[in-house]
Amino acid sequence: MTLVVDSRIRPFQQAVSNLGTALLLGMVCTGCGGGSKRIEQVHIGETQGTTYSIKYVSDDRTDQAKIDSVLRKVDEAVNLWMPGSVISRLNNWDRTDTVFAFVDSSMVWSVIYERSRSLYQESEGAFDPTVQPLVELWGFGLSRRKSVASEDVDAVMPHVGFEWSRLDMNEVFENRVYKRTEMLKRDSLCGLDFNSIAQGYTVDLLADLLLASDVADFMVEVGGEVKCHGTNGSGEPWRIAIDKPVEDWSEGRQLEAVVALKNAAICTSGNYRKFYLDDDGVRRSHTIDPRTGYPVEHTLLSATIRASDAALADGLATTCMVLGPEAGKEFIMAYRQKHPEESIEAFWICSDERGEPVHWLSPGWGESLVFYEE
C-alpha cells in the first residue's frame, strides 16, 4: 500500500487541540485545505464524560438547542453517571417481584437495548452489556478500585449474561399506541452498561439530525466515534486519523494510519491507554471478557471498524477487543459474509513478541486507508 503523508493533518490537530476537543481512541478529523472553500459550521462541547465535535458544510447553522436535545435524550436513557437516568435507576432496582416501568419517549432505550441484544447473540456473548457488575468489580466504573480475587469473580459471574432469565423488556401498547416500557429483573444483581455502543448511537442520532435539516456534508464525532457523510469544505472525502497505540502522549499524538471516509462510520476500541497495574504488578485492561470475568490478555492493541452506522462500528470494535486478534478476525470475516449490507471493514494493530506493531486489514479498504509517514 502506498504510504501517504497528508500535510494538513498537523495544522488541524493543533486547531482541534486549541478548541479543547482532543478526540479519544485515536480519531481526529483532517483534510480541510486546498480548493474552493464552502461555508463550514462547527459545534463543539462536552457530553457523556467526553467531548463531541460536529463539522458540516451549510449556509445555515443548525440550532444548538436541537443538538443539546439529542445529547440530553441519550443521557437520560443510558448515562451511568447520572443518578436519575433510566439505566442508573434500573441498575439500582432490586425487586424481582414487579416490573420497573418508564416511558421511553425518545425510543433511545429500546433501540440501544435491542441492538445490544442482537450483537450479544451474533458474538455468542463476547459483546454483553450485563458486564456492568464486572466493570464495577475491576474498578473501571463508579466503584473505587480494589484488589480482585478469583473468588470475587466467581461470585459475580452468575449475574452476567444478557439472557431472558436475568432481564426482560416488554413494551406496552394500547390500541397500537405505545404507553410504557417495562423491565423485569429476574436477577436483582444484574446490571447494564451500554458504554460500548451508546457513543456510537449518539453519533448516528446527530447525523440523522443533520440529514433531516438537509445537511448532506458533515463529520460527527463523539468520544472518538465518527460518522461522515458527503465531503468536507474542499469537496474532498473527510479524513480520519488512527493513532499509534502508545501510552504516552506527552510529546503529542502519533498517527498510524489515515482513512478517507464518506457516507460511513469508523470507531476504534483499544487497551493501550485505559489500564492499571494491580497490587501484584499485573496490567489490567479496561476491556473485560464477560465470558470469563477477567480483563482480556492478548496482543490486539486496537481494533478499528468501518461500518454503515456508528452504533454497529462501536459495538463491533469492542467485540473484537474482547475476542482478540485471531478469533476477532474470524468473527469479522463471518460477519461480513452474513451482513454484506453493513459494508464492514476492520483494521487491527497488534504487538509482536518484540513489541513491534503488526497490522491486519480486511480486504475491502482499497486506497481509502493509508499508513501515516512522518
Q: Cell numbers of 115, please?
A: 441492538
d(CA 112, CA 70): 14
pLDDT, tens digit, 9 for 90 and up, residues 58-69: 999 999 999 999
Question: What's the confidence (pLDDT) of residue 342?
Answer: 96
pLDDT, tens digit, 9 for 90 and up, residues 16-48: 333 332 333 333 444 444 444 678 999 999 999
Q: Are 127 and 195 spatial neighbours (Cβ–Cβ below 8 Å)?
A: no
Percent of the chain residues topping a pLDDT of 70: 83
Strand order in the sheet with 255-261: 28-30, 238-243, 255-261, 369-371
Residues 59-98 as b or e (16 or more Cβ within 10 Å = b): eeebeeeebeebbebbbbbbbbeeeebbbbebbebeeeee
Q: Cell numbers of 37, please?
A: 472553500
- Taking all residues of the chain, what is their mean pLDDT, rounded to a whole number? 86
| 6-15, 29-38, 60-69, 72-81: least confidently modelled range | 6-15
Mean pLDDT of 152-166: 96
Per-residue confidence band for 162, with pLDDT thresholds at 50, 70 and 90: very high
Query: With 70 as the cut, is the pLDDT of residue 112 above it?
Result: yes
- With CA atoms as reference, report the closest residue to 369 among 298, 303, 306: 306
d(CA 305, CA 289): 19
Q: Name the more confident of 253 and 214.
A: 214
Query: With 90 as the cut, is the pLDDT of residue 236 above it?
Result: yes
Per-residue confidence band for 362, with pLDDT thresholds at 50, 70 and 90: very high
Per-residue confidence band for 275, with pLDDT thresholds at 50, 70 and 90: very low
pLDDT, tens digit, 9 for 90 and up, residues 241-273: 998 887 665 666 788 999 999 999 999 998 755
pLDDT, tens digit, 9 for 90 and up, residues 307-358: 999 999 999 999 999 999 999 999 999 999 999 999 999 999 998 888 788 9
> Domains in the chain, start-ordered, CATH in brackets?
77-185 (1.10.3980.10)
Question: What's the confidence (pLDDT) of residue 141?
Answer: 65
